[in-house]
A = this chain, B = another copy of it.
Amino acid sequence: MHHELIEHIQKFVSLDDSEIEMMESTLQKSNIKKKTHVLQEGQICNSMYFIVKGCMRQYIINPKGTEQTLQFGVENWWITDYLSYHNHSPSHFYIQAVENSEVIALDKNTLESLLVQIPKLEKYFRVVAQKAFGAAQMRIKFLFTMSAEERYNHFKNQQPDFVQRVPQYMLASYLDFSAEFMSKIRAGKV
């Protein structure tokens, strides 16, 4: 039923049959329609979302009223607001489905109970969080050191299919340049 998540976990730790069974009986997939929010600014984030299929994004609304995408999540990624999750504080972010998506929403109580029953999951979530943090540090480096065109080409080389999947304005804000500049780049006019 959740073989995508089980497979992902098994890349980091080995689960035995009873543990897999426990996870499968505990977790369920949800369908999130395109444009639906699973988190809005001001709400407390009580879940982590594993993306089985589709695409989600985390964004903010900047003082000009424009949406600014800070993170995309596709298949086999987790997306959440860890600070709101841990501190039980109102979130500063929105999390929304970019495509019709299938996710496993893991709420705090369920996760804490799973971690007690299957302690080796701690390692899985540790490594996932550490790698996500490392990737965020790289993203900040790219924002500071690459030109807009370099950022676009770098992203396109790393994620060739993804560039076609998301609306241009979202990708432009993620790469921190205007939608107009994005159109020029894609038209080969830069």
Contacts and interface: CB of A to CB of B under 8 A. Distances in A.
Contacts of A62: 144-145
Contact of A137 (B83, B123, B138): B83
Contacts of A140: 70, 136, 140
Contact of A82 (B58, B122, B137): B137
Interface residues of A, number: 37
- Residue picked from A58, A81, A115, A125, most chain B C-beta under 10 Å: A125
Given A82-B130, A83-B131, A136-B137, 6 more contacts: A58-B137, A81-B137, A82-B134, A86-B130, A93-B141, A119-B122
Interface of A: 58, 60, 62-63, 68, 70-71, 81-86, 92-93, 115, 119-120, 122-123, 125-127, 129-138, 140-141, 144-145
